[in-house]
Copies of this chain bind each other. A is one copy, B any other.
Amino acid sequence: MKMLTFMIQEKNNKPIYLQLYEHIKSEIQSGRIEAGSKMPSKRKLSQHLAVSQNTVQAAYEQLIEEGYIYSLERKGYYVAEIDHIFHLEEKKQELLHKGAAETEKIIYDFSYQGVDQENFPFSAWRKITKDVINEYDKELLKQGDPQGHLYLRQTIAEYIRQSRGVDCKAEQIVISSGTEYLFQILIQILSQEAVYGIENPGHERLNLLFKSNRANYEVLAIDELGMNISEVRKSRVSVLCVTPSHQFPSGNIMSINRRAQLLNWANERQDRYIIEDDYDSEFKYSGKPIPALQGLDKGGRVIYMGSFSKSLSPALRISYMVLQDELLRIYHKKLSFMICPVSVMLQKVLHRFIEEGFFERHLNKMRNLYKKKREILSEEVSEIRKKLPKDQSLTIKGADAGLHLLLEIINGMSEKELVESAAWHGVKVYPLSKYYLAEKNLPDKPSVLIGYAAMSKEDIVKAFKLLGYAWFNIKNGEI
């Protein structure tokens, strides 16, 4: 481990993670650590350098991500081929159009597009997949059902009926690869005259989707209770896109009263629809579960959308929607050329994963874990608050459900400065204004979005120490 012995500069502003990562990277680039050689285990290296195992792990993860080292199951970490890597790095940079400086600095990324990294049920998934890849199953060699495999649609229908009160049969379900693909189907089956109403703030780039598909849309301001019916009535909107279970990004849960108002609006005319994107409804931490809008509606005006991106993994690319009979008829008539984009094998694996109880178990486990992560985050916020002078503040918003929350920060910095100072300390947070799809009703107080699902409990603590330092100059121990 000679080449991995180096001076950790404790007084350096740069976190130890980053120092270790940069050292190993330069050793590999220079050829001093040879391709194919085995890296010391996390335990050994942490003992050797007298740093925590988590520090080593973070460094290793960054190296894996950038292709410098790779891991072999039950064997350890190995150094990748170097020529190949330079090659990749060049390409990556070309592709990402990002300055190397910026990407290298980030150690803790509070992205909302991720799930817990340690608890995916890999062994169950592997076992089922192995079973599903079966010589005798001719379905694996044929084009599948355009709407998605019937068995998977049956299990999804059952699941959303029970867990979300969605009123549906398997025949009404259309499986696709992501919300954007579902929206593209809807744009094709709904009237060309439709005007889509999208929440502001709302899902990043949803406006681009409508624009690119040459559909009309209007951006509608929301308040703390969700979509405001008077805003809707003032607009030309006929199809309303909402996230009632946990508004993105504000985190608000839409009140029952608002829900009723929206349903009444939708039921007044036959060309009105509500698209309910229930993207992270699996995770609600307090209060009684509120059933999906779709289940409350008796008029068939709500199109329900769900996804396995938050509950399992965004790398799976499986989402679904529930069409009522009339739209289903148009779908069959107009979109007979569309084939379900999810591979038949994957659909079969997911079907069995749900059917055999693994999904429910995983959800229960994750619900507890994410709750715990949220609590830890909340404790860290409290710790920081204790040390704040009266004119400064740090407030959590929208944390009752889902996998992200908002932080409202009053410390004299602008939103841009908050994001930059966090990044300079190795922490990536997301400016709330990024999710404003129109230049109106911008947030009055500087706020950032924090996704905590993908980060370990330890990392949440460490990242908040860095944020405390970055935003309020509160100094802490090692990191």
Chain A residues engaging chain B, CB cutoff 8 angstroms: 61, 64-65, 71-73, 88, 91-92, 94-95, 113-117, 120, 122, 125-126, 129-131, 133-145, 147, 150, 170-171, 176-178, 180-181, 184, 188, 192, 204-206, 208-209, 212-214, 309, 313-318, 334-346, 454
- In the complex, 17 of the A-B residue pairs with CB atoms within 8 angstroms, ordered by the A residue number, are A64-B138, A73-B134, A73-B136, A92-B150, A114-B142, A115-B141, A117-B141, A120-B140, A125-B133, A141-B315, A143-B309, A176-B341, A208-B334, A316-B343, A342-B343, A343-B346, A345-B346
Q: Given B188, B206, B346, which contacts A212 in the complex, CB threshold below 8 Å? A: B188
List B contacts of A177 (CB < 8 A): 177, 339, 341-342
Measured CB to CB, the closest approach of chain B to A368, in angstroms, equals: 18
- List the B residue with the shortest CB-CB distance to A208: B337
When the two chains form their complex, are residues B212 and A143 in contact, meaning their CB atoms are under 8 A apart? no
Distance between Cα atoms of A64 and B139 in the complex (Å): 10
Measured CB to CB, the closest approach of chain B to A189, in angstroms, equals: 8
Distance between Cα atoms of A317 and B347 in the complex (Å): 12
When the two chains form their complex, are residues A135 and B73 in contact, meaning their CB atoms are under 8 A apart? yes
List B contacts of A313 (CB < 8 A): 140-142
Distance between Cα atoms of A344 and B339 in the complex (Å): 19
Q: Point out which of A64, A91, A176, A212 has the most chain B C-beta atoms below 10 A from its C-beta.
A: A212
List B contacts of A314 (CB < 8 A): 141-143
- List the B residue with the shortest CB-CB distance to A207: B337
Distance between Cα atoms of A341 and B177 in the complex (Å): 5
Q: Given B95, B125, B212, B337, which contacts A180 in the complex, CB threshold below 8 Å? A: B337
Distance between Cα atoms of A125 and B343 in the complex (Å): 14
When the two chains form their complex, are residues A317 and B342 in contact, meaning their CB atoms are under 8 A apart? yes
Distance between Cα atoms of A339 and B178 in the complex (Å): 8
List B contacts of A133 (CB < 8 A): 122, 125-126, 129
Measured CB to CB, the closest approach of chain B to A364, in angstroms, equals: 19
Distance between Cα atoms of A130 and B65 in the complex (Å): 21
- List the B residue with the shortest CB-CB distance to A344: B315
Distance between Cα atoms of A73 and B135 in the complex (Å): 7
- List the B residue with the shortest CB-CB distance to A313: B141
